[in-house]
Amino acid sequence: MAHPYRRRSRRKVCRFCVNPELPLDYKHPEVLGQFLSERAKIIPSRISGNCAHHQRLLSVEIKRARNVALLPFTRLP
């Protein structure tokens, strides 16, 4: 039996592996924005569940989107 205080966690999956249709591209800030924290920092794959490959691509695309003001560098909560 599971420990009474341990929360059962849902298994995390890489959303880009599960759905290859999901665009991983700096021109889609609405997708990339889902991987930003409240302060517009990139959410670690440890939390988001992304695989290493897609997390690497994601971080590059987020930085590109920031350069052209599609995503913020920082944001006040």
Q: Taking CB under 8 A as the rule, does residue 32 contact other proteins?
A: no
Q: Taking CB under 8 A as the rule, does residue 37 contact other proteins?
A: no
Considering only the stretches 4-12, 41-49, 69-77, report the one whose residues sit in contact with other proteins under the rule CB under 8 A. 69-77
48 is written with which tokens? Answer: 């988001």
Q: Taking CB under 8 A as the rule, does residue 62 contact other proteins?
A: no
* Residue 30 C-beta: closest distance to other proteins, Å: 6
DSSP string, 10-59: PPP--HHHH-TTS--STT-HHHHGGGB-TTSPBPPHHHH---HHHHHHHH
Give the span between the Cα atoms of 28 and 57, in whole angstroms. 14
Binding site for other proteins (CB under 8 A): 19, 21-25, 27-31, 57, 61, 64, 66-73
